[in-house]
Amino acid sequence: GELRLHKDISELNLPKTCSISFPNGKDDLMNFEVTIRPDEGYYMGGTFTFSFSISPIYPHEAPKVKCKTKVYHPNIDLEGNVCLNILREDWKPVLNINTIIYGLYHLFTEPNHEDPLNHDAAAVLRDNPKMFESNVRRAMHGGYVGQTFFTRCM
């Protein structure tokens, strides 16, 4: 898995809104972080960090991806689990790290209320997009949405 991962990382072609880092140093490619700073949409101006944990049998198993930033989002729950089809049933070995990062970025530009992990956020997005927008802003500035406190991520 590490050779293929090395190839994926060397061929990354990320949008300017995304960056990758290796908290354990370059010797540990199997664990890294990706930071996304959306420049459009509800989450514009926020900074969101995801941890990637790569299996030794990659690419035959999808990376495990968690959001380390607490975020008010229909497709990311408060524990950081991410609902992205290519990380689950639609994963194929031909996909790569670049594909996943673009998929994560897409979650911020176009959140999807139809496949939610955070059902409250999804319902608000579906029924009242203006209120959803103000909830996202409140969460990103560091504040409560309902009973949940979010730390500032702007």
Q: What is the pLDDT of residue 105?
A: 97
Pull the structure tokens for residue 65: 């991806």
Instruction: Give me the tens of pLDDT residue by residue for the chain, a chain 154 residues long.
Output: 888 999 999 999 998 999 999 999 888 999 999 999 999 999 999 999 999 999 999 999 999 999 999 999 999 999 999 999 999 999 999 999 999 999 999 999 999 999 899 999 999 999 999 999 999 999 999 999 999 999 999 9
Q: Which CATH superfamily is domain 2-150 in?
A: Ubiquitin Conjugating Enzyme (3.10.110.10)
How far is Cα 15 from Cα 48, in angstroms, rounded to an integer?
A: 15
Catalytic residues: 83
Which whole-number Å values give the CA distances from 147 to 35, 58, 62, 87, 112, in the listed order? 27, 39, 33, 29, 23
- Bridge partners, 48 (sequence order): 36
Q: What is the pTM of this model?
A: 0.95
